[in-house]
Amino acid sequence: MWAAIVRFYHRMASPRHFYHLSGKMIPWFTWAFFLILIPGLYLSFAAPADYQQGESYRIIYIHVPAAWQSMFIYIIMAVCGGISLIWRIKLADVMLISSASIGAAFTFLALLTGSLWGKPMWGTWWVWDARLTSELILLFLYLGIIALHAAIDDKRVAARAVAVLALVGVVNIPIIHYSVEWWNTLHQGATIKITQTTEQKAINKEMLIPLLLMAVAFKFYYASVVLMKARCEVLLRERSTQWVKELVHKA
């Protein structure tokens, strides 16, 4: 059984196998994204208005899933960085750098929608709040990884450098998450807490369901796009191998 697990592990780490398997998975992830996004958007508009914020609160259905996604993707990158440094698996490098631009886009979206939400709530587009500042640092980490990878010509050296940066930067994730509890901030506390009782829930079911649907839709979007980018990166790195030449010849 252990030998079978090892064989499966090495097979999944094969760029050639990954390329063909990911090509089959992308359509499924794409369809799942749209099938979840559509009811998520519909229920977002059908949900009742907030008793304090009125209709302006609806930006939560983009802002919160984007913020969750920005942290989720960075954790994935840090895991890939650890795998790359320890086991030197090429696909970990590919997934790390392929995720960086997507994570940066979600982080920027979270900051933008947060600014749009903050203006009517706080009376200003931006404050150097702990949550906002740590999220901005996350954006700089993403951009730093992208720039560092592009600046180093030797991709093996670049892979190690961005892996180290990803692992060092992961310390910012708990800071983002707990910033509203550790410091006095304008940013509201967590909307959803796993340990809350029914009486303590900060959001009712009609608002919670579309929020979770949008969060899941964003996960499928990431899975679909990162596989597309990873396939391109694999072809670029493996362009001198026989299987890529055969693939080009068939095309």
> The dihedral of CA 163, 168, 172, 175: what is its sign?
positive
Which of 243, 26, 75 has its CA nearest to residue 83?
75
Question: Which positions ≥6 away from 210 have C-beta within 8 Å?
Answer: 39, 40, 41, 42, 43, 44, 46, 47, 61
Q: Which pLDDT value is given to residue 149? A: 96
Of 108 and 119, the one with more pLDDT: 108
Average pLDDT over residues 72-96: 95
Query: What are the pLDDT digits (tens) for 173-199?
Result: 999 888 767 655 655 656 665 445 444
- Tokens 């933008």 belong to 112
pTM score of the predicted model:
0.91
Long-range contacts of 133-139 (CB under 8 A, 24+ apart): 134/172, 134/175, 134/176, 134/179, 135/67, 135/70, 135/107, 135/110, 135/111, 135/176, 136/111, 137/172, 138/70, 138/71, 138/74, 138/107, 138/169, 138/172, 138/173, 138/176, 139/104, 139/107, 139/108, 139/111
More confident residue, 60 or 182: 60
Of 47-51, 120-124, 177-181, 190-194, the range with the lowest mean pLDDT is 190-194
pLDDT, residue 194, reads 46
Which range, 12-16, 87-91, 134-138, has the best average confidence (pLDDT)?
Answer: 134-138
> For residues 76 and 166, what is the distance between their CA atoms, to the nearest angstrom?
10
Phi and psi angles of residue 50, each rounded to the nearest 5 degrees, phi first:
-70, 140
Which 3 state secondary structure label does DSSP give 190? coil
Lowest mean pLDDT among 1-5, 196-200, 215-219: 196-200
pLDDT in tens, 96-116: 999 999 999 999 999 999 998
Greatest Cα-to-Cα distance within the chain, rounded to the nearest angstrom = 63
Residue (of 181, 216, 172) closest to 74 by Cα position: 172
